[in-house]
Amino acid sequence: MAFPAPNTGGRRCSNTALAFTRQQMIDMGLVPPEGAEQEAQNLLLSRPYSTEEEEEEEEEEGAGGHPAAMADDAEEPAEAVGLIGHFEASRLLAQKGKEGTFVGSLDMSMTERELVSTEEGVALPPSPAAADGDGDAESNLVASWDELAVVLKKAKKGQYGCWELYADGNTPCKVSDISESTSRPAMLCAPLRSAGAPTMVLGGFAMHRISGGDQKSTMEPGLDTEHKVSASGARRTNGRVLDTCTGLGYTAIAAARCRGVSGVVTVELDEVSLRMCRRNPWSQEMFRNEKITSLLGDCCELVKDFDDGEFAAIIHDPPARALCKTTDMYGAAFYKDLARVLKPGGTLFHYIGNPESNEGGRLFRGVIDRLIGAGFHDCKTDKKAFGVVARR
């Protein structure tokens, strides 16, 4: 899988926001060097984060921290060959006792491929070279039946992690990391009630809705993203779109797919989010789509560099306020800057949260008042998208 660098379009950046060149992204570990895309696409980027309690459980159950990633003397982290959650683990485990080839998913149900059910567990088929007698004819085990059972056991305990798989004899590894700038833990979390794209949990807060407002109805990151992009008017837009918070890149990807959108600028404050993108198969289009420009920095500062009326639509999907203490993502000054860079007649979608919750209701009123004061009008609550739609 190739990872072309996003098109920076000659963007000017303040000293707190950097446009990625391809070499910068390679240096940061976000994009593999030329000629090594397929081999490097799922490299571990740091020692996974886990609590002491989880580490003890993982030692007992045999699935957890990856030895190659955790060993002090390890020269190179191991290469992952897949990523699964509890839904994928359940479907793979259903093949136990049915030795032979079958079709399953090792990329969070994005695609399916041929796999092999063996006495020990699930394996990759022998390489084409092996079929010609030039390589190892053995199938490469990626997860034992016991390891898949551990993934399901953890999900039943409410630990809906995503697990990288390896074909080198190492155990599955939960995808987790720590932000260097904030020291907050980050992890990928599988959808609760359906297969599909994972969300990221940063500092204890999920970055996408993973259940309905009543905590019972179905909701997952893909549908959550569709609601936000639709509310922003991007599907009816002709021009550029600003995505103020990259996260896992789903919003930027969905906006860039809209027919009339000529380009998407997406901004991320924390490098750990981009490393999570790097390990998530559902985020890879962000690195490949030339319509998407990725910027690293504080959007509250970077927005000052954009031209008046530069964007036809803005999607503002900030983290919870508890994670925004060092930036002004909910402030009047930032809203005024967003109004300046949004062209007249353009649409802003501002995600806030459940409008029917007590805290959400108070926050909605304050946000709407500040948006009106910043120059927006026709501010309306979108209950389906959990946010406010405003016009310029």
> Is there a single domain that holds both residue 265 and residue 224?
yes
Which residue, 139, 174, 209, sits at the end of a domain? Answer: 174
Average pLDDT taken over every residue of the chain: 81
Mean pLDDT of 154-172: 93
pTM of the model: 0.80
Q: Return d(Cα 238, Cα 17) in angstroms, integer.
A: 26
> Is there a single domain that holds both residue 330 and residue 224?
yes
> Is there a single domain that holds both residue 81 and residue 131?
yes
Which residue, 174, 205, 239, sits at the end of a domain? Answer: 174
> Is there a single domain that holds both residue 263 and residue 356?
yes
Q: Return d(Cα 132, Cα 152) in angstroms, integer.
A: 38
Highest mean pLDDT among 21-30, 103-112, 358-367: 103-112
> Is there a single domain that holds both residue 63 and residue 124?
yes
Q: What is the CATH number of the domain that holds 353?
A: 3.40.50.150
Asked if the structure places residue 208 within a domain, the reply is no
Confidence grade of residue 254 (pLDDT, cut at 50, 70, 90): very high
pLDDT over 80 at 66, yes or no: no
More confident residue, 97 or 204: 97
Of the given ranges (54-58, 75-79, 84-88, 249-253), which has the lowest mean pLDDT? Answer: 54-58
> Is there a single domain that holds both residue 227 and residue 361?
yes
145-159 pLDDT, tens digit per residue, is: 999 999 999 999 999
> Is there a single domain that holds both residue 241 and residue 327?
yes
Asked if the structure places residue 43 within a domain, the reply is no
Asked if the structure places residue 191 within a domain, the reply is no
Asked if the structure places residue 130 within a domain, the reply is yes
Confidence grade of residue 194 (pLDDT, cut at 50, 70, 90): confident
392 contacts: CB under 8 Å, gap ≥ 6: 339, 342, 343, 344, 345, 346, 347, 348, 375, 376, 377
Tell me the Ramachandran region of residue 308: left when phi exceeds 0, alpha when psi lies from -120 to 50, beta otherwise.
Answer: beta
Question: Domain range holding 91?
Answer: 49-174
> Is there a single domain that holds both residue 234 and residue 148?
no
> Is there a single domain that holds both residue 366 and residue 239?
yes
Sign of CA dihedral 240, 251, 270, 335: positive
First to last CA, the chain: 40
Of the given ranges (33-42, 185-194, 351-360, 380-389), which has the lowest mean pLDDT? Answer: 33-42
Most distant CA pair in the chain, distance: 73
What pLDDT is stored for residue 181 in this prediction?
86
Q: Are 28 and 307 in contact (CB under 8 A)?
A: no
Asked if the structure places residue 205 within a domain, the reply is no
Q: Return d(Cα 90, Cα 148) in angstroms, integer.
A: 8
> Is there a single domain that holds both residue 134 and residue 255?
no
> Is there a single domain that holds both residue 372 and residue 234?
yes
Residues of the chain with pLDDT > 70, as a percent, come to 73
Q: Return d(Cα 374, Cα 385) in angstroms, integer.
A: 22
Asked if the structure places residue 4 within a domain, the reply is no
What pLDDT is stored for residue 326 in this prediction?
66
Please give the tally of structural domains in the chain: 2
Asked if the structure places residue 79 within a domain, the reply is yes
Q: Return d(Cα 163, Cα 171) in angstroms, integer.
A: 10
Which residue, 141, 174, 207, sits at the end of a domain? Answer: 174
184 contacts: CB under 8 Å, gap ≥ 6: 178, 202, 203, 272, 323
Q: Are 147 and 234 in contact (CB under 8 A)?
A: no
Asked if the structure places residue 11 within a domain, the reply is no
> Is there a single domain that holds both residue 27 and residue 80?
no
